[in-house]
Amino acid sequence: MNEKGVLTIPDAFNEISETLSTAESILDNAVDNAKTLFHTLVLSSHDEDKIVSRVMVLREFNPKERYLRFHTDARATKIKHFQKNSNASILGYDPALKIQIKLQGYVEVHLDNDVTKASWNESTTRSKKCYSVDGGSSLEIDNPAEYDLKDGNIEDGYLNFAVLKFKYTSLEFLYLKSSGHRRAIHSWDEDLVSSWLVP
């Protein structure tokens, strides 16, 4: 990290393995670093024949098991979309790093199980509060003020809490810099296969 709290990355990428290790460092750093735009990623998925995208806060990155964890409201319509078609894509870019990361994979929905319990227990009171809102995400309403966060028993919100694990099968790295643009794709079937792409 430099003095501005920006992750320090190589100035040039000549080894393809460095593009993957840098992408992994960026995502690892982004879990707790709210200053990088990789902390809030865009997750796109299917609603029948439509593509839907939304910004979500990155809660965990596990490069070994190749997943990213997100939290959401169990009442959100996107839960049904993921259950019907789990294919999804993640996109992030931070101009401070000049790097774009694109991930392809699928979403695993977790509702009231060991994963949700562990994630709920490590959530802050502020985060937990969001799940006590009446009605739930995406409900059409007349007066938004009636749905402002209120004090109450925040632990009741657990019933409305869901975890999304996005498991990726490919990671694309793009670095746009005048010293030389670099684009690389890393895919996992059984083993990792990496290739440079024309930027």
**Closer residue to ligand FMN, CB minimum distance, 57 or 176:** 57
What is the identity of the amino acid at 35? K
Q: How far apart are CA 18 and CA 2, in angstroms?
A: 19
The site map against ligand FMN for 126-165 (x = CB under 6 A) is: -----------xx---------------------------
Least distance from C-beta 69 to ligand FMN, angstroms? 10
The residue whose two tokens read 């000549």 is 14
The three-state secondary structure class of 134 is coil
What is the identity of the amino acid at 36? T
Q: Which of 61, 70, 131, 173 binds ligand FMN (CB under 6 A)?
A: 70
**What are the angstrom distances between the C-alpha of 171 and each of 14, 23, 189?**
18, 8, 12
Please choose, out of 74-82, 108-116, 140-148, 170-178, the segment that lies near ligand FMN by the rule CB under 6 A.
Answer: 74-82
Q: Can you read off the two tokens belonging to residue 93?
A: 């870019």
What is the identity of the amino acid at 53? S
Least distance from C-beta 170 to ligand FMN, angstroms? 23
Interface with ligand FMN (CB under 6 A): 40, 52, 54-57, 70-72, 76-78, 137-138
